Structure 1
Amino acid sequence: MQCYLVGGAVRDQLLGLPVRERDWVVVGASAETLLAQGYTQVGRDFPVFLHPTTHEEYALARTERKAAQGHRGFICQATQQITLVEDLQRRDLTLNAIAQAADGTLIDPAGGQADLQQRWLRHVSPAFTEDPLRVLRVARFAACYAAFDFRIAPETMALMQAMVTSGELQQLTPERVWKETATALCSAAPQRYFAVLQECQALQGLFPELANLFGIPTHSTGPSVIDSGLETLQALEQSARLSDDLAVRCAVLCRAFGKARTPKASWPAHPDHEVAALPLIQAFCTRLRVPNHLRELALLVARVQPLIHQSPQLSPECLLKLMYTLDVWRRPQRLTQVLLACRSGILDTTTTFPPADYLVRCFEALSALHFHDLQPGEHSGPTRQKIVWQRRLQALQQLS
């Protein structure tokens, strides 16, 4: 029985990154051997065990054979005769197919170290095409490791395009697609994930609401005109600079979906695209089973973004209605999230965003109010609501 450190831990170590978790492959052992040593089996589709002390994952060396369509359509074989090289050959990318022995020796049959040094994302073998999830994983790696300027090897991109053409990606479950997408959205360069999927022609099948924006002109910051799809990717890039909040980034991704529905005669203007975006955001979130709190913020940003940008010119009454719409008293974080999402749409990083300072001052003025002096009959119901509204309105009137 021999244990080797594999996968992301070896890759990140070679890149000089902190190792967040360690996975191991076990050669020359059986499930009974590990169970006898106190390991706990957790894998249902293939034998994975938790170490009795460290609780790190140990997987028996295995091979896989494609038997049906989809991410789970594999027959797994894990015996004591499976070698380490055979196990590494079933992995997706060469940079994930490096193992490290206990003495530090690296086992690298696919040339992963060279690809790491030359910044290539390259498939290990033609078996790459057997798992459609790998298309999304390559796009996610491109996003998560964008700081290293990794490129996708031409032959790997050709395989990804062939997988898209075959229709295999349609077998992926919504949960798997969203899991990869959410991880990519949390990366340092979420726009790269969608750019790769656009390049391999997977975007239309997976995210038609975003794909339909490409080829549609729109006004950018100032008088310039930009492609709507490119504008969304640039706004997503901007959001990653401003916030690490997944909800903010998801809202930025969805905020311009409605521009695909505006009449061509109006281009590059998109009147009422915010309203047109609402059913598209609903469809996007329902199809991918996006968590409700992300859906709520995305819909809210689409609805209020024109008012946010116009807020310094709004009347006190409209401002107060906006604050109620944002539900800032029960959810004060909402104001920050919405402002960040709207600020992300301004692609010029040197441009200030006056609505942010103005609305924060408004919120602070409203938050400073108290209602301890209300009479017994004014503590609930329409009477209280009217008094609270009037006092808040007066505070905004004085501010303006």
Structure 2
Amino acid sequence: MKIYLVGGAVRDKLLGLAVQDRDYVVVGATPEQMVAEGFKPVGADFPVFLHPQTKAEYALARTERKQGHGYKGFKVYSAPDVTLEDDLLRRDLTINAMAEDESGVLIDPYQGAEDLRNGVLRHVSPAFAEDPVRILRVARFAARFAQWGFHVAHGTNKLMRQMVESGEADHLVPERVWAELERALGEDKPSRFFEVLRGCGALARLFPEIDALFGVPQPEKHHPEVDTGVHVMLVLDAAAKLSPDARVRFAALMHDLGKGATPPAEWPRHIGHEERGAGLVKNFCQRFRVPNDYRDLALITARYHAHCHKIAELRPATVVDTLEAMDAFRRPERVDMFVTACEADFRGRAGFDDKPYPPAGLFRRVHAAARAVDTAAIAANGAPGPDIGARIREQRIAAVRQVLSQPK
């Protein structure tokens, strides 16, 4: 029995990054031997065991053979005669196909260290094409390592395009797509995820609403970058700088979805794109079973981002209507996330990344003022139910009016 540290832990050590998870491959062992050593079996599809003390994952070396569509269509073979090289060969990228023995010696049969030094994301073998999830993983690694300028090897991009054109990507299940998208939103430069998918044709197949934004013009006066798709990618990266919360980043990604559905005859204006966008966001979230908290913030941002930008110009009653529609009095935490997404929209334009955004502070102040209205005291006066609601609304409008009337 020989044990090797494999995959991401080896890669991140070579990059000088903190190692989060350690995965091990065991060569020359049987499941019975692992159990006899005290390991706890947990793998449903192939032999994986938890270490009795550290709880780290130890998988028996294995090979895989494609026998169906999608990422579950594999037949796994695991036995003592499977070598480390066999196991590494089935992995997605060369930078993830390295191992380290118990003495710390690097084992790199597929030149992953060289690709790591050169910033190349390259597939290990043609078997890459058997698992469509790998398209998403390559795009996510491009987003994670964007700060080092990592790029997808030409041959790998060509293979990914072939997978899309052959229909293999159509077998991706919604939950797995969302899992990879959510993780990509958490990376340093999430726009790279979508750029890589667009480069191989997968964006149009998986996320047609986002792909439709590219090539759609906006007024140059307000959007020096003109192209809506370019703008949304800038907004997404701006959101990544402003907040680590993936919900905020998702809202930034979804905020202008409606512009992709504007009739070309109306370009470059996009009147009514907010409501069109809300419908597209609903469909997107339903298709990928997006969690409700992500969906709700994205819907709010799609519908009301213009209200945040123009908060100083709105009537006080409109401001209160907006806050009520956002459920901002019962869920005050939403306001900060919404405003952050709107600030990202402002900054996601050429030349605007470091300019001040006064509406952020003003929106937070009107919300605080409206929320400070003593609803319990109003209710205690004993007025009938409908009258209580009307009086609360009146006082909230008055509180907002006072804030808006103050010198800017």
- Would the TM-score normalized by the shorter structure come out above 0.5? yes
Q: TM-score, normalization: structure 1? A: 0.96
Identify which range, 349-358 or 290-299, moves more after superposition.
Answer: 349-358
Does the 8 Å CA contact 2:371/2:396 hold for their aligned counterparts? no
Cα-Cα RMSD: 1.5
Equivalent-residue separation in structure 2 for 1:283 and 1:69 (angstroms): 25
User: Please, which moves more after superposition, 25-34 or 227-236?
Assistant: 227-236
Whether the 8 Å contact between 1:62 and 1:82 is mirrored in structure 2 is yes
Q: How does 1:100-139 map to 2 (within 5 A)?
A: 100-139=100-139
Distance 2:237 2:375 in 1: 43
- CA deviations over 1:156-205 (Å, ceiling 9, x no partner): 11111111111100011111111111100111111000000000111111
Choose the corresponding residue for 2:391, options 364, 369, 387.
Answer: 387
Query: 1:220 & 1:109 partners in 2: Cα distance?
Result: 52
Aligned pairs, number = 400
Report the Cα offset of residue 56 of structure 1. Answer: 0.6
Contact 2:88/2:97 (8 A) holds in 1? yes
CA distance in 2, matches of 1:231, 1:276: 18
Are the equivalent residues in 2 in contact too, given 1:220–1:231 (CA < 8 A)? no
Q: Is the 8 A contact 1:61 1:87 kept in 2?
A: yes
Q: Distance in 2 between matches of 1:271 and 1:189?
A: 30
Structure 2 CA distance, aligned partners of 1:95 and 1:287? Answer: 32
Q: Does 341-350 or 199-208 show the bigger shift? A: 341-350
Q: Which whole-Å CA distance do the structure 1 matches of 2:65 and 2:383 have between them?
A: 69
> Aligned pair in 2 of structure 1 residues 325, 36: CA closer, same or farther (>3 Å)?
same
Q: Does the residue aligned with 1:345 lie in a helix, a strand or coil?
A: helix
Residues 4 and 99 in structure 1, CA contact (< 8 A), matched pair in contact too: yes
Change (3 A) 1:270 1:40: same
Indicate which of 378, 396, 402 corresponds to 1:398.
402
Q: Secondary structure at the match of 1:218?
A: coil
User: Which residue number corresponds to residue 11 of structure 2?
Assistant: 11
Partner of 1:36: 36
How far is the alpha carbon of 1:396 from its aligned partner? Answer: 2.1
Aligned residue number for residue 81 of structure 2: 81
Cα pair 1:142 1:192 within 8 Å, conserved: yes
Deviation of 1:376 after TM superposition, in Å, equals 4.2
Structure 1 distance, partners of 2:378, 2:150, is 63
Partner of 1:367: 371
1:373–1:280 CA distance, 2 compared to 1 (3 A):
closer
Q: Which amino acid aligns with 2:391?
A: I
Paired AA for residue 162 in structure 1 = Q
In 1, distance between residues paired with 2:377 and 2:138? 61
Pair 1:53–1:221, CA change in 2 (3 A): farther
Cα distance, 1:330 vs. partner? 1.2
Q: Deviations over 1:201-238 (max 9, x none)?
A: 11111000001111111136736351111111111111
1:113 corresponds to which letter in structure 2? A
Offset from partner CA, 1:258-304 (integer Å, 9 cap, x none): 11221212211111111111221111111111111111111111111
User: Cα distance, 1:128 vs. partner?
Assistant: 1.0
1:244 corresponding residue in structure 2: 244
Deviations 1:339-372 (A, max 9, x none): 1111111221122212111111212223333345
User: Letter of the aligned partner of 1:33 in structure 2?
Assistant: Q
Q: Within 5 A, what are the aligned runs for 1:285-324?
A: 285-324=285-324
2:177 is aligned to: 177
Amino acid of the residue matched to residue 390 of structure 1? E
State the Cα deviation string for residues 57-81 of structure 1 (Å, max 9, x = none). Answer: 0000011111111111111110011
Deviating more after overlay: 252-261 vs 188-197: 252-261
| Contact 1:115 1:121 (C-alpha < 8 Å) held by counterparts | yes
Range moving further from structure 2, 343-352 or 12-21: 343-352
Distance (whole Å) between structure 1 residues aligned to residue 291 and residue 150 of structure 2: 31
Q: Please report how far the alpha carbon of residue 379 of structure 1 lies from its aligned counterpart in structure 2 after TM superposition.
A: 7.3
1:163 matched to which residue of 2? 163
Unaligned 5+ segments in structure 2 are none
Report the counterpart of residue 215 of structure 2 in structure 1. Answer: 215
TM-superposed CA distance for 1:377, in Å, is 4.9
Query: 2:353 aligns to what?
Result: 349
Q: Is the 8 A contact 2:41 2:50 kept in 1?
A: yes
* Structure 1: distance between partners of 2:156 and 2:376: 67
- C-alpha contact 2:236 2:249 (8 A) present in aligned 1: yes
- The letter for the 2-side match of 1:251 is A
Q: Alpha-carbon deviations, 1:301-359, whole Å to 9, x = none?
A: 11111211111011221122222222222111111111111111122112221211111
Q: Which residue of 2 aligns with 1:224?
A: 224
Helix, strand or coil at the partner of 2:17: coil
TM-score by length of 2: 0.95
Give the whole-Å Cα distance in 1 for the aligned partners of 2:92 and 2:379.
69
Which residue of 2 is the match for residue 200 of structure 1?
200
Which runs of 5 or more structure 1 residues have no equivalent in the other structure?
none
Please tell me whether the aligned partners of residues 225 and 268 of structure 1 are also in contact (alpha carbons under 8 angstroms): no
Q: Distance in 2 between matches of 1:145 and 1:389?
A: 50
